[in-house]
A and B are shown apart, each in its own frame.
Chain A
Amino acid sequence: MPPQELAQKLQTQFGALIIALPEFREETTVSVADPERIADVCAFAKESLGCNFLLDITSVDDYGTEPRWTIVYELYGLGHHCRLRIKTQVNEESSELPTVSSIWRTADWHEREIYDLMGIRFRGHPDLRRIIMWEGYPYFPLRKDFPLVGKPTELPEVAFTRAAPLQGGPFVTSAGGKNTIEREPRARITEK
């Protein structure tokens, strides 16, 4: 079963909810218009389309645009050896969508990681705790508006953080730039 067929079956099942995105380098991507239906779409993809392997869930921060968050699900079928990518967008105000951890158990830790580093919550998740940073860390460090050097925090007996000395350092990004040179200058002169 080619991946385009998977996308078509999703469209016949869910109709206008599924938007086919342009195919890129033989990778098929569909978008789910309503993030609240993502669990239904994923359940159908697993039960009826044979996508029994969830490769990954990632999140994208489109800082400055609304909806801000894009959640990306990478699906794979061990029977038909096809990949399918499902995207859905969540606005910053809610920052919440249903969990798929009841469909694929591996989604448990993927969703915890997204919650930890991006601050997007998954409704119905059995154990939505931080997975990399410690409990009590106040920020979501992979958001685009979080400074790369970090922010000073203090949690007695657990951990502390300090801002890293970047010396105007190399890996500085500024969101909203028109092109890569504007978004990721090699060095930024820090004002003193």
Chain B
Amino acid sequence: MASIYPRPVMQTKTDFTYDSKIEGDVVVTKLDAAVNWFRKNSLWPMPMGLACCAIELMAVGASRFDISRFGSEVMRFSPRQSDVMIVAGTVTYKMALAVKRIYDQMAEPKWVIAMGACASTGGMYRSYAVLQGVDNIIPVDIYVAGCPPRPEALLDAMLNLQAKVAREPALSSLKHTS
């Protein structure tokens, strides 16, 4: 028995609708999750190489450990283009305000990894010349243990940071200008 209502016609071949044959299937998600997914898979590092940890950081970037598997191969030496500052090495007081200034120049959203004992706590340098942990001047998201850490440890830190980025409320933390 035919309905008294006219049957709606699916128009999938016009110029204005979504053509799944050409453009693939549609995934429904939250905007927060989508934004975070973009962010966490392209965390561009600001390599703040200050001491021997920077050698391990270079190893992470090279082919054997290959940080590009996690979307972070684009080392940006301009703070304007970076997302995550990797503080790799001993932060002396002479360098401290320069590190803070470069952090301040990075665009939001931004994160910080303190790589190794020196950047985390001052390490073995209980000294008049060394800042006792970079978290005295800038906020740190992930601390990596080691002196210096193995490249795998830094990769683990990147994965932990990705998990942290994925949990963040991306939209509600946007700064509104009125």
Given A158-B97, A159-B93, decide whether A165 and B128 contact each other with a Cβ distance below 8 A: no
- A-B interface pairs (CB < 8 A), number: 46
Per-residue interface assignment for chain B, residues 124 to 136, with 1 indicating a CB less than 8 Å from any chain A CB and 0 otherwise? 0111111010001
A146–B127 CA distance with the chains assembled, in angstroms: 11
Per-residue interface assignment for chain B, residues 85 to 108, with 1 indicating a CB less than 8 Å from any chain A CB and 0 otherwise? 000000001101100000000000
- A162 at the A/B interface (Cβ < 8 Å)? yes
Residues of chain A contacted by B93 (CB below 8 angstroms): 159-161
**Chain A interfacial residues counted at CB < 8 A:** 22
Closest chain-B Cβ to A84's Cβ sits at a distance in Å of 33
- Contacting A at CB under 8 A, from B128-160, are 128-130, 132, 136
Residues of chain B contacted by A181 (CB below 8 angstroms): none
Closest chain-A Cβ to B91's Cβ sits at a distance in Å of 11
Closest chain-B Cβ to A155's Cβ sits at a distance in Å of 10
> B128–A149 contact, CB under 8 A?
yes
> B97–A148 contact, CB under 8 A?
no
Residues of chain A contacted by B128 (CB below 8 angstroms): 139, 141, 146-151, 161, 164
- A63 at the A/B interface (Cβ < 8 Å)? no
- A166 at the A/B interface (Cβ < 8 Å)? yes
> B97–A159 contact, CB under 8 A?
yes
Residue of A nearest to B127 (CB): A164
Closest chain-B Cβ to A183's Cβ sits at a distance in Å of 18
- A176 at the A/B interface (Cβ < 8 Å)? no
- A104 at the A/B interface (Cβ < 8 Å)? no
> B132–A160 contact, CB under 8 A?
no
A133–B93 CA distance with the chains assembled, in angstroms: 9
- Contacting B at CB under 8 A, from A120-147, are 132-134, 139, 141, 146-147
A164–B126 CA distance with the chains assembled, in angstroms: 6
- Contacting A at CB under 8 A, from B59-115, are 93-94, 96-97
Closest chain-B Cβ to A171's Cβ sits at a distance in Å of 7
Residue of A nearest to B133 (CB): A165
A148–B126 CA distance with the chains assembled, in angstroms: 8
- A169 at the A/B interface (Cβ < 8 Å)? yes
- A157 at the A/B interface (Cβ < 8 Å)? yes
A14–B43 CA distance with the chains assembled, in angstroms: 69
Specify which of A133, A139, A149, A166 is in contact with B94 (CB 8 Å cutoff): A133
> B132–A164 contact, CB under 8 A?
yes
Closest chain-B Cβ to A35's Cβ sits at a distance in Å of 28
* Centre residue among B93, B122, B128 by max chain A CB count within 10 A: B128
Residues of chain A contacted by B129 (CB below 8 angstroms): 132-133, 141, 150, 161
> B94–A159 contact, CB under 8 A?
yes
Residues of chain A contacted by B126 (CB below 8 angstroms): 148-149, 164-166, 169, 171
Mark A residues whose CB is within 8 Å of B: 132-134, 139, 141, 146-151, 157-162, 164-166, 169, 171
Mark B residues whose CB is within 8 Å of A: 93-94, 96-97, 122, 125-130, 132, 136
If A159-B93, A164-B132 are given as contacts, then 8 extra A-B residue pairs at C-beta distance below 8 Å, sorted by A number, are A148-B126, A148-B127, A149-B127, A159-B94, A160-B93, A161-B93, A164-B130, A171-B126
